[in-house]
């Protein structure tokens, strides 16, 4: 029995939700999001709450039950508050700057890395060594953060590179003489 799946999702005021078969559409102050859920779960909207239930008692249906409920909760959180991911840059001469619709990264290569900012995502650089990625779609925010981090992942000896703000780098000891 899914503990997460059993909980109904409350739709706050100012947000409209629409369930059409397996498609859930949510509209709020930060935009419109939709998700198509797996066929093994049944979704219904009643009295300002969205309820998810498995259609059968199979292992796959029970697995999709909690996942589907969390996807809908992320849609509602995204259109009401939005999501944010922070990246930190460590290294001498490493820096980031937003120029128009591009993120320009100086990461120790012979050239600057230019990352085009996708639609629905806003990137800010409050300091040259900090990148703040925000948007209403949780998956897209995480994907953009992962793509930027992949340009120069942190290395274990000096800790140079791009890391998540909450990430802890396991440091290794260098060579001995």
Give the rounded percent of residues in the chain with a pLDDT score beyond 70. 99
Give the rounded percent of residues in the chain with a pLDDT score beyond 90. 86
CA distance 24 to 18: 6
Among 67, 81, 3, residue whose Cα is nearest residue 35: 67
Confidence of residue 2 (pLDDT cuts 50, 70, 90): low
- Please tell me the predicted confidence (pLDDT) of residue 48: 87
What are the tens digits of pLDDT across the range 101-132?
Answer: 999 999 999 999 999 999 999 999 999 999 99
Report the largest interatomic distance among the alpha carbons of the chain, rounded to a whole angstrom.
71
Q: Which domains does the chain have, with CATH numbers?
A: 3-80 (3.90.930.12), 83-164 (3.90.930.12)
Average pLDDT over residues 48-63: 91
> What is the rounded radius of gyration, in angstroms, for the C-alpha atoms of the chain?
21
CA distance 155 to 170: 9
Average pLDDT over residues 70-94: 95
């Amino acid at each position: 029995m899914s503990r997460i799946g059993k909980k109904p999702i409350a739709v706050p005021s100012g947000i409209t939700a629409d369930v059409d078969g397996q498609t859930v559409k949510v509209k709020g102050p930060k935009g419109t999001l939709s998700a198509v859920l797996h066929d093994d779960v049944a979704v219904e909207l009643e009295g300002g709450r969205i309820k998810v239930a498995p259609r059968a008692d199979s292992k796959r249906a029970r697995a999709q039950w909690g996942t589907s409920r969390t996807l809908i909760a992320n849609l509602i959180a995204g259109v009401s508050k939005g999501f944010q991911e922070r990246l930190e840059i460590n290294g001498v001469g490493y820096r980031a700057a937003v120029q128009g619709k591009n993120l320009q990264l100086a990461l120790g290569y012979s050239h600057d890395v230019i990352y085009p900012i996708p639609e629905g995502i806003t990137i800010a650089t409050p300091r040259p060594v900090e990148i703040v990625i925000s948007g209403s779609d949780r998956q897209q925010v995480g994907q953009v953060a992962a793509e930027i981090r992949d340009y120069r992942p942190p290395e274990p000896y000096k800790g140079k590179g791009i890391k998540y703000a909450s990430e802890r780098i396991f440091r290794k000891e260098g060579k001995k003489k």
